[in-house]
Amino acid sequence: MTSGGDSPGMNAAIRAIVRTGIYRGMNVYGIRRGYQGMIEGDIIPMKTTDVSNIICRGGTILKTARSKEFMTDEGMEKAYVQLTGNNIEALILIGGDGTFRGANKFFEKYTIPAVGLPGTIDKDLVGTDYTIGFDTAVNTAMEAIDKIKDTAEAHDRVFVVEVMGRDAGYIALYSGIASGAEDILIPETITDIEDVLNRIDDDERRKKSVHIIVVAEGDDFGSAEKVHESIAQRFPNKDIRTCVLGHIQRGGSPSFADRILASRLGYAAVNAIYEGKTQVMAGIINNEIVFTPFANVVKGAPPMHSDLLNMIRVLSV
């Protein structure tokens, strides 16, 4: 099943799971709409032909949803009854932090073997270097910022671009560095807006007319609109524009990196079930498959690399 926010590459993972499971002699079923579908028994048998030609598609053919009901004792009991009623003997869960929080709580009460896959564009899970969908989302954001930079240069504008990242700033950091942004504002650091304004002022004196600021939606200072307001107050004659990329970052055909990652992790997850591993997330660290207990996956995001944060200032001079 896929749960929480969708991410490019989920379909590639579904394809790998279905075909590896069938290769292993298992009967494979898909649970539609995540935990809510589990509660309602929206469970369908899957064949190899059901996953033909989906490796290149964004979204998820199993659909996804967030379920408040599942976090109640009654909801979990309903889900367990549906699983046992459909003779489900093991689960593979594709999702992010919320998916594994729900799994951790569920498996404290009910014993069903389960392996998770990190499917989230935010790259905010401990236990893996990369998550399914992150590479595609960063490339989408980078391409959008590149295009924004073209029009910024044509009009000598300051552009404030907001990208996804409520709790983690990896999309902002990576897309901002890759597109040559002058400032990158992320939740992991405290934003000094005066510092940002002073750099714009310095650019003005050096006749540098374009200034791109990439803001993660969860930055402590606030949204791109708030950053825009602060710039406008200091520079009333400056041409300033704001662009919120929004859900464009979730969609689209997954990159080759996400297709390979999803396929490797889906294949590894089925083999882990076959070998008796349970209540773990399959991840990739230093290009090797690793397994991390669900309880450890949800503790927080990997730390930001200080060299990347320091590099922004140097390369934007």
Instruction: Show which of 226, 250, 274 is a domain's final residue.
Output: 250
Q: At what angle do helices 73-85 and 97-109 cross, to 10 degrees?
A: 80
Whether residues 20 and 31 share a domain: the answer is yes
Alpha helices by DSSP H, listed for 110-216, are 134-155, 170-178, 193-205
Whether residues 112 and 150 share a domain: the answer is no
**What are the φ and ψ backbone dihedral angles of 254, each rounded to 5 degrees?**
-65, 145
**Catalytic: which of 6, 97, 122, 219?**
122
Q: Does 317 reside within a domain? A: no
pTM: 0.93
Helix (H) or strand (E) holding 115: strand 114-118
Whether residues 214 and 283 share a domain: the answer is no
Residue 243: domain span: 135-250
CATH number at residue 19: 3.40.50.450
Whether residues 156 and 176 share a domain: the answer is yes
Distance of alpha carbon 253 from alpha carbon 3, whole angstroms: 19
Q: Does 291 reside within a domain? A: yes
Whether residues 240 and 150 share a domain: the answer is yes
Q: Does 307 reside within a domain? A: no
Whether residues 216 and 282 share a domain: the answer is no
Distance of alpha carbon 232 from alpha carbon 77, whole angstroms: 54
Whether residues 121 and 149 share a domain: the answer is no
Q: Does 314 reside within a domain? A: no
Residue 71 class from Cβ within 10 Å (0-12 exposed, 13-18 middle, 19+ buried)?
middle
Q: Does 169 reside within a domain? A: yes
Greatest CA separation found in the chain? 71
Which residue, 214, 263, 283, is CA-closest to 243? 214
CA dihedral 236, 241, 244, 248 (to 10 degrees): 180
Q: What single-letter DSSP state applies at residue 159?
A: E
CATH number at residue 221: 3.40.50.460
Q: At what angle do helices 170-178 and 306-315 cross, to 10 degrees?
A: 40
Whether residues 171 and 198 share a domain: the answer is yes
Provide, for the chain, the percentages of residues in helix, strand and coil under a 3-state DSSP scheme, each rounded to the nearest 5.
45, 15, 40
Distance of alpha carbon 158 from alpha carbon 304, whole angstroms: 27
Distance of alpha carbon 199 from alpha carbon 311, whole angstroms: 15
Which residue, 117, 102, 96, 97, is CA-closest to 38? 102
Whether residues 33 and 114 share a domain: the answer is yes
Residues forming beta bridges with residue 284, ordered by sequence position:
289
201 given a catalytic annotation? no
**Number of domain units in the chain:** 2
Whether residues 145 and 191 share a domain: the answer is yes
Instruction: Output the tens digit of pLDDT for each of the chain's 317 residues.
Output: 999 899 999 999 999 999 999 999 999 999 999 999 999 999 999 999 999 999 999 999 999 988 889 989 999 999 999 999 999 999 999 999 888 888 888 988 898 999 999 999 999 899 999 999 999 999 999 999 999 999 998 888 899 999 999 888 999 999 999 999 999 999 988 889 999 999 999 888 887 778 999 999 999 998 899 999 999 999 998 899 999 999 999 999 999 999 999 999 999 999 999 999 999 999 999 999 999 998 888 766 667 777 887 888 788 76
Whether residues 238 and 127 share a domain: the answer is no
In this structure, are residues 45 and 27 in contact, taking their beta carbons and an 8 Å threshold? yes
Q: What is the pLDDT of residue 111?
A: 87
Assigned token pair, 109: 């009460």
Residues forming beta bridges with residue 244, ordered by sequence position:
162
Q: Does 4 reside within a domain? A: no
Task: Specify the pairing of strand 91-95 against strand 114-118.
Answer: parallel
Residue type, 208: K
Q: What is the pLDDT of residue 304?
A: 74
Helix (H) or strand (E) holding 234: helix 224-234
Q: Does 196 reside within a domain? A: yes
Which residue, 140, 110, 156, 160, is CA-closest to 249? 140
Q: Does 121 reside within a domain? A: yes
Whether residues 51 and 129 share a domain: the answer is yes
